[in-house]
Amino acid sequence: MTQSIPQAFEPLAIGPLKLRNRFIKAATNEGMCKKGIISKGLAQFHAGIAQGGAALTTVAYCATSLDGRTFVDQAVLNEANVADFRALTDGVHAHGGAVCAQVTHAGCFTFLSHDDLQTSRPLSASGGFNKVGVLSRRFTKKRMTQSDMAAMTEEFVQACVLARESGFDAVELHMGHGYLLSQFVSPLYNKRRDAYGGNIAKRMKFPAEVLSRVLDAVGNDLAVIVKYSITDGVKAGNGIEEGIEVARILERTGAHMAVLSNGMNVESVSGIFGSSLPSEVRKPPENWVIRLGMRMQHMADFKPVTFREMYLLENSKRIREAVRMPLAYLGGVQNVGNVRSALDAGFDAVALGRVLVHDANLIEGWRSGTADASGCTACNHCVTMMYSPAGTACIERMDGASSKAAAQANLIAASA
Ligand SMILES: Cc1cc2nc3c(=O)[nH]c(=O)nc-3n(C[C@H](O)[C@H](O)[C@H](O)COP(=O)(O)O)c2cc1C
Ligand code: SF4
């Protein structure tokens, strides 16, 4: 077989960064950070992705602060971690790859306990009842004030400055999936009536201010990428028209590239993955209070969704038509034909999540012409493995009995 997608192996400039080809390893929260320590396993995982041919690998997610975490065992971009992050980025560079830190604050999407979260209530665009807190017993969230927003902007800037110090080549600001910045973008969370709430331009004001300050601080040295949800995946949330407006605002603000995702962690997780989580996880929890809370707040989308390749292509093309900034297509890329159709549709890069968890060497196979379709079945079991002791992995790739045992343990933990 000879290589049939030469255009995918041409270099690409995003801001100050030159990528060796068009393949980006999307953020797939690897875990592997017990008590926040950046493990050798995490460094090896990303070195392996670079060795397998990706131009840019994304480390996810790196919290802007301790309070910015969703779970305790998560990486934080602070001074204490610079040396370990430096070892990770050196490992990627040794294989000719570039490396990106996905920089995120969870806002109210946090499961930190009262002992672990320093603020009394999780921060968000608006206050009131915190449906995510039904699980962590944090039933109310705090509406951010102007001074909270100024401090948060500084927190993002500092995290990105530390990313530069740690040897990262790019930062990816997470404005999607229901984390803090998307809690401003989405009308599901943003009920404000001041300059930061209302129509989509106003809801984007704070995220755009953060982007602008990050660009000022590190944009000459690092590629500044934004990942966002082009729709929230539910009727009451942002639709594609708002997604187009977000892209225009990002372009005007100067983002070097946007990675186009979809959906929200709580309201429409299948919007992110194009398919449902494994049914064991989707089963309602046994505790009736939590079950009732979940039902009442529509915390999970219970309707099974069947995976299809390139599930975000139609909507992503609408974004492509609206802006000229570099865009990465993401969602259900499984084979050489999918890559070709994304590039033919005018996308500058292709971001890959599950297929690289399944096989870090897939891109090298595509380059050499020895591989075509990924063996990933989009079963989403790896999603439930994120906080297992061994971290995110493909259950198809683990050896027999241990994979089933690990998956089962995780499914039980995830549905507890
Ligand atoms: C195990 C796993 C963990 C993920 N963690 C993150 C994350 O931390 N941040 C993020 O933006 N997206 C995360 N995602 C979503 C992926 O980046 C991507 O949007 C999604 O998997 C669709 O792309 P794919 O069809 O190529 O897998 C995760 C996906 C998987 C499978
Ligand atoms: S567990 Fe493996 S096969 Fe299933 S979605 Fe994840 S990477 Fe693909």
Give tens-digit pLDDT for 86-122: 999 999 999 999 999 999 999 999 988 878 888 889 9
Specify whether 329 is catalytic: no
Is the pLDDT reported for residue 142 higher than 60?
yes
- Tens of pLDDT, residue by residue over 145-155, are 999 999 999 99
DSSP string, 57-69: EEEEEEESSGGG-
Given the CA of residue 383, which atom of ligand 2 is nearest to it?
Answer: 6
For residues 359-365, give the mean pLDDT. 97
User: Which CATH superfamily includes the segment(s) 6-376?
Assistant: Aldolase class I (3.20.20.70)
Residues touching ligand 2 (Cβ under 6 Å) are 354, 357-358, 376-382, 394-396
Residue 292 has pLDDT above 80, yes or no: no
Query: Does residue 55 or residue 407 have the better pLDDT?
Result: 55
**pLDDT tens digits, residue range 187-196?**
999 999 999 9
Give the model's confidence band at 300: pLDDT under 50 very low, under 70 low, under 90 confident, else very high.
low
> For all residues of the chain together, what is the average pLDDT?
90
Domain ranges of the chain: 6-376
Which ligand 2 atom sits nearest the alpha carbon of residue 374? Answer: 8
Q: What is the pLDDT of residue 268?
A: 92
Least confident of 102-111, 294-303, 304-313, 405-414: 405-414
Q: When comparing pLDDT for 297 and 69, which is higher?
A: 69
Q: Residue 289: is its pLDDT beyond 90?
A: no
Length of the chain in terms of residues written? 416
Give the count of alpha carbons within 13 A of 299, CB side only: 18
The pTM assigned to this predicted structure is 0.93
Max CA distance (Å), the chain: 59
Helices 40-51 and 82-93, axial angle in degrees (round to 10): 20
Q: Which of 330, 334, 293 is nearest to 315 (CA)?
A: 330
Consecutive H or E run containing 352: strand 349-352
CA of 61, closest atom in ligand 1: 8
Asked if the model's pLDDT at residue 365 lies above 70, the reply is yes
Q: Whose CA is nearest to atom 6 of ligand 2?
A: 382
CA of 195 to the centre of ligand 1 (A): 32
Q: Whose CA is nearest to atom 24 of ligand 1?
A: 353
